[in-house]
Structure 1
Amino acid sequence: MPDIKVLVLIGSLRKASINRQLAELAAETAPDGVRLEVFDRLGELPFYNEDIDNDDVAEPVLALRQAAAGADAALVVTPEYNGSIPGVLKNAIDWLSRPFGNGALKDKPVAVVGAAHGRFGGVWAHDETRKSFGIAGPRVVEDLKLSVQTTAFDGEHPRENSEVAGQLRDIVGKLAAEVG
């Protein structure tokens, strides 16, 4: 049986972000038979505009939709910006929601995790991301949650936090089990 492919979308564009590090950790600790692939071009997507969503759609949009279509599931790893979803991630959700009712992630399982500076670890952004994806067409797995305060890492890579590493591995395994 081929590996289960999980598309990873990171809501932060910063190369050294904790959320990027969490995505790396998820890939490193994924169970056997599960392969995570980060789509690292969210910053290249034009703002969603139905006028430009046509046969000549921008190449980064086409690449995102192809990556999503080729995936079995998606893991979204995101911070919280001003109490909500980072704009770059919301824009990706908008592109992935089209054509409406038949987007590239339609009915595929999606989990949302991440870390943020706020005292709730990004819960608001994670909840809003789940809501947006739920409307956009994927099947959001509500039970798969991880919202961590960045202070939990004390300046170290998340892989140094065995509790978070274990939780993340468990989430990736359960997300893969939702593929079917």
Structure 2
Amino acid sequence: MPEYLRVKTRSTTILTVRHKGVVAIGGDGQVTYGESILKQDTKKIRRILDGNVVVGFAGSTADAFSLMERFETKAKDFPGNIPRAATELARDWRTDRVLRKLEALMVVVNAEHSLLITGQGDVVNPQDNIIGIGSGGNYALAAARALIRHSDLSAREIVEQSLQIASEIDIYTNNNLVIEELPAAN
């Protein structure tokens, strides 16, 4: 498993799928501390920049909110250039002493891009337009890939069913789902 996926992987599940002219991103609502469930309905998917960008996060909640705020600032510094904003955040995250200690992963989507941003300085644009992060991320990712290949479901339905499957396997993921959609650019 790549190092960037080992950071706080027992945290949640976030999945995004770009399919049939729509990008859908969803996440579960469970917050855990060690072996205990603290909350079951946390919203880990947020719309920013007038609703044109959706961010999902896994890992420490406080760290994720800090990163989301910093990303929004970077996105405002580079209007209309989400990859540049993501690259600038990843650079700062990797090199800044304080930010370097943050334990979270972010997925950022808009009409044109689906990006994974890590504290290792990575900005990944997946070849297959699917990203899964968090403790159930690989389960949801595998389910989404199978559903895209072997069904006629919409992006939203694929995200919903894949997260449901992950919640049945991963004890750190529940089935209290939040899913957002955006039209995808052609």
Q: Is TM > 0.5 for Structure 1 vs Structure 2?
A: no
TM-score bracket, normalised by the shorter chain, equals 0.3 to 0.5
TM-score scaled to structure 1, two decimals?
0.35
The answer to which structure has the higher strand fraction is 2
Higher normalized contact order (CA 8 Å, seq sep 6+, divided by chain length): 2
The answer to which structure has the higher helix fraction is 1
